[in-house]
């Protein structure tokens, strides 16, 4: 069953300007260490960061909380499963909210798709629940 759906669009140029203006202050507030490492391993970090920014916004929408009610940027981190499929690892308030919205006897799954076509990056998040095996 689908518990929540969210999508977001992010202008890569906005992320570039924010990086120039706020640097580590912005990075520390929004991105996990793993996300930062992955973005800066590439020559141009802004497109990767913009996709992850959009993923966090989309996840907050799918959770139904937005970035309030105890859900913070770094509570949602884009990770890749061994297959390479992207998903989100939730901690803190985001994880607590996910646990509350998941029915008893079910486990949550977060599906994520990311894309970019300069100057835009986009993400779609679907949170679903399936009976525990």
Contact 82, 11 (CB under 8 A): no
Ligand-binding annotation for 57, yes or no, is yes
Instruction: Quote the CA–CA distance of 30 and 41 in Å, as a whole number.
Output: 18
Instruction: Quote the CA–CA distance of 72 and 47 in Å, as a whole number.
Output: 21
- Going by the DSSP 8-state scheme, the letter that residue 31 receives in this structure is -
Contact 49, 39 (CB under 8 A): yes
Instruction: Please count the other Cβ atoms lying within 10 Å of the Cβ belonging to residue 121.
Output: 26
Contact 46, 120 (CB under 8 A): no
Ligand-binding annotation for 8, yes or no, is yes
**Residue 9, strand partner residues:** 122
Annotated binding site: 8, 57
Annotated binding site for Mg(2+): 8, 57
């Amino acid at each position: 069953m689908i518990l929540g759906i969210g999508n977001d669009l992010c202008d890569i140029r906005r992320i570039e300007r924010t990086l120039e203006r706020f640097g580590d202050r912005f990075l520390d507030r929004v991105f996990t260490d793993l996300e930062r490492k992955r973005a800066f391993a590439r020559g141009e970090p802004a497109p990767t960061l913009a996709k992850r920014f959009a993923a966090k916004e989309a996840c907050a929408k799918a959770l139904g909380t937005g970035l309030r009610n105890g859900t913070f940027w770094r509570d949602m981190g884009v990770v890749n499963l061994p297959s390479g499929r992207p998903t989100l690892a939730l901690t803190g308030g985001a994880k607590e909210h996910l646990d509350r919205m998941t029915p008893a006897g079910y486990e949550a799954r977060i599906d994520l798709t990311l894309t970019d076509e300069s100057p835009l990056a986009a993400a779609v998040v679907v949170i679903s629940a399936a009976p525990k095996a």
